[in-house]
Structure 1
Amino acid sequence: MSLFHERSGAFSREKTFFLLVSLLPALWLAELALRGGLGARPWTEAIHFTGLWAIRLLLLTLAITPLRQLLAAPKLFYGRRILGLAALAYALAHVGLFFIDQGVVRAASEIALRIYLTIGAVAVALLVALGATSTDGAIKRLGARRWSALHRAVYVIAPLAALHFVIQSKLDVTEAVLVSGVLVLLLLYRIAFRLAGGVTPALFAALSVGAAVLTAGSEMAWYGLATRVDPWLVAEANVSFDLGPRPMWWVLAGGLAVALLAAIRQRRAPPRRSRAAVQPN
C-alpha cells in the first residue's frame, strides 16, 4: 500500500500529515547537527532528543483512539501504525546513539547496572516486538485475537518509558511529569471506556480534571521522595504560576480543549435517522 494513499487508491491527507509529523523531528535534529546547534556535548543532546521524541510519538500513538472516537474522525486510524513505527525508529536511534557514544561494552554494562537504563531497554525491546508484528502479514499469521493481545503490551511500554524519563531527568522532572500526566489521562480514558461503554465530552472533561490532580500529586511525591524538596512548596508552585504553568495545567488545558472540541463536533453533527425513518412507505 502506498505511503500516501488509502486502500482505495485515493490520496490520504491523514497519512501524509502523520508521515510529516514523524519526519520533522529527524529533519530538525539533522539541521541542528549540521549547524553545530547541539552544544558542547552533541552526542548526549542527540540521545536526549531522540528519546524525547520517541516517547512523544508513543503518546501520540496512544492518543489516536481517543481522538478518533471523541471527534468522530475515523481516518485518524491511519496514524496509529505510522506514529507507532516512528516511535520505534526514534527509540532505536536513542539506543543506537547511546551505544555509539559510550561504546558497546560500557553501554551494555550501564544498562545492566543502572535501573532506569534497564527499564528503558525493556521498553525498547517490547516496542521492537510490536514493530516487528505491525504488518498486515503478521496480523494474518497471528490472528486478530493474538495480535491484539500482543499489542496490548503498549500499555506496559508507555509507563516504562515514562518511568525511565522521570528517573533519568533527576532534578528537573517538569517535562517528564507532563508526559506522565498525559499518559495518565489516556489510560483513564481507556478504563472509563471499558467500564461505561463509551466516553462523552463531559466525562472526558472530568477525566482531565482527575488526570491533572494526579499529575500534581505525582510531581509533589517525586520531589518529596527523590529530592527531599518540601512537597507543599511544589503544591504552592502549582497554584501560584510564579514559575509559569506547571504540568498539571497543561494536562488540564489539553484535556478540556479536546472535550470542548468534541462537544462542538457532536452538536454540529447531523442527527442520525432512525431505521423506521428510512423505511419505504
Structure 2
Amino acid sequence: MPPALKLLFFERSGRFSPEKTLFLCASVAPALWLAWLALAGGLGARPWTEAIHFAGLWAIRFLAFTLAVTPLRRLLVMPKLYFGRRIFGLAALGYAGLHLALFFIDQGAGRALSEIVLRIYLVIGAVALVLLVALGATSFDAAIRRLGTRRWNLLHAAIYAIAVLGTVHFFMQSKLDVSEAVLMAGLFLLLFAYRIAFRWAGEVTPLGVAGLAVATALLTAGVEVLWYALATRVDPWLVAQANVSFDLGPRPAWWVLAAGLALAAAAAVRARSKPRRPTRSGRAVADPSPV
C-alpha cells in the first residue's frame, strides 16, 4: 500500500483505524454533495453564490468540529477521537480555500482582489484564512519536531482567533438572517467556556457541562438580540420574544442548550460505565492538550 494511504487510514502501529476512516469520509462528504448539486442543477438561480456560501459554511463547521474533539475526548473518555482534530482542521482549511477559490472564479481575480481590499468583512475572512494556512502547514509531526512543543502549541492556539474572525465574517456577510451565524457563535462560546472551566478547575463534571450549556445558551440569545439591535432595523424586543417562544421554531440558543445538555448526559452515562483513572492525589488524569 502507498505510504500516503497508510498515513490516511492506518495508525502508526500499522493497525487499520476505523476512526480515521470515518473522519476522512465525513470530511469529504460535503464536497461530494456540493459536486452532486452542481452537476444536478440543484444550486438554484445563483449557483456560484450558493456554492461559495456552502463552502464557507462547512469551513466554519469543521472548525467547530476541530475544537469539539478535545472536550468530547475528555468527557467521553475516547482517546482515539484525537485523530479527528488534525483531519477536521485540514478539512476546515480545505473548505475555506474552496470558499475563496469559488469567489475568485465567480468575480474574476481583479475584482475579487479589489473587493477583499475594500470590504472589511472580506479582509477579516482573508486574515482568518491566512492563519488557517499557517496552522495547516504546521499540522504535521515534522513541524512539531522543528518548532518544539511549546512554540507549536502557542502557534496553534491561533485557532481561537480564527474561530472569532470566522464568526465575525459570517455575521457580516449574512446581513439580515444571521441564524446560522448565531448558532456557530453559540457553539464556539460553549467550546470556549468548557476550556476556560477546565483550565480553572482541572476537570469539568457532567453537571458542570450542563451549567455551561445553560450559561452559553443565554449568552447566545444575548448575541442574537444585540446583533439585531446594533446592525439592523429589526426590533430587538421581537428577537428577544422569539427566543422564548417557538412560534418561529427553536432559535439558535435552544440548539446550543440542547447540544450542551446532550454532551452532559452522554458524559454522565460514560462516567457511570467507565470511571476515569485517578491520579495519586485522587484527581482524574488531566489532558494537557491546549486545543
Please give the alpha-carbon distance, in whole angstroms, between the structure 2 residues aligned to 1:245 and 1:201: 24
CA 67–272 in structure 1, closer or farther in 2 if over 3 Å, else same: closer
Residue 235 of structure 1 aligns with which residue?
240
Residue 96 of structure 1 aligns with which residue?
101
Deviation at 1:229, TM superposition (A): 1.8
Residue 49 of structure 1 aligns with which residue?
54
Q: Secondary structure at the match of 1:195?
A: helix
Matched, 1:153 2:158: yes
Within 5 Å, give how 1:42-191 maps onto structure 2. Answer: 42-191=47-196
Letter in 1 for 2:124: I
Letter in 2 for 1:20: C
Deviation at 1:10, TM superposition (A): 1.1
Please give the alpha-carbon distance, in whole angstroms, between the structure 1 residues aligned to 2:110 and 2:186: 35
Letter in 2 for 1:247: P
CA 67–154 in structure 1, closer or farther in 2 if over 3 Å, else same: same
Deviation at 1:268, TM superposition (A): 1.1
Letter in 2 for 1:126: L
TM-score, with length taken from structure 1: 0.96
Letter in 2 for 1:5: F
Q: Secondary structure at the match of 1:11?
A: coil
Letter in 2 for 1:47: I
Q: Say if 2:116 and 2:122, in contact at 8 Å, map to a contact too.
A: yes
Per-residue Cα deviation, 1:61-90 (whole angstroms, up to 9, x for no partner) = 000000000101100000000000011000
Residue 267 of structure 1 aligns with which residue?
272
Q: Say if 2:179 and 2:252, in contact at 8 Å, map to a contact too.
A: yes
CA 63–271 in structure 1, closer or farther in 2 if over 3 Å, else same: closer
Per-residue Cα deviation, 1:98-149 (whole angstroms, up to 9, x for no partner) = 0111111111111111111110000001000000111111111111111110
Identity %: 69
Letter in 1 for 2:146: R
Deviation at 1:270, TM superposition (A): 5.1
Q: 1:224 aligns with which of 220, 229, 249?
A: 229
Please give the alpha-carbon distance, in whole angstroms, between the structure 2 residues aligned to 1:93 and 1:212: 31
Task: Tell me the matched-pair count.
Answer: 275
Runs of 4+ with deviation above 2 angstroms: 270-275
Q: 2:255 aligns with which of 246, 250, 257?
A: 250
Residue 36 of structure 1 aligns with which residue?
41
Residue 279 of structure 1 aligns with which residue?
none
Q: 2:197 aligns with which of 144, 168, 192?
A: 192
Deviation at 1:271, TM superposition (A): 7.4
Deviation at 1:273, TM superposition (A): 8.3
Please give the alpha-carbon distance, in whole angstroms, between the structure 1 residues aligned to 2:173 and 2:276: 50
CA 56–273 in structure 1, closer or farther in 2 if over 3 Å, else same: closer
Please give the alpha-carbon distance, in whole angstroms, between the structure 2 residues aligned to 1:272 and 1:104: 56
Letter in 2 for 1:190: R
TM-score, with length taken from structure 2: 0.92
Letter in 2 for 1:90: Y
Deviation at 1:232, TM superposition (A): 1.4
Q: Which runs of 5+ in 2 are unaligned?
A: 1-5, 281-291
Aligned-residue RMSD, C-alpha = 1.3
CA 25–274 in structure 1, closer or farther in 2 if over 3 Å, else same: closer
Letter in 1 for 2:109: V
Q: 2:19 aligns with which of 8, 11, 14?
A: 14
Please give the alpha-carbon distance, in whole angstroms, between the structure 2 residues aligned to 1:272 and 1:234: 46
Q: Which runs of 5+ in 1 are unaligned?
A: 276-281
CA 129–241 in structure 1, closer or farther in 2 if over 3 Å, else same: same
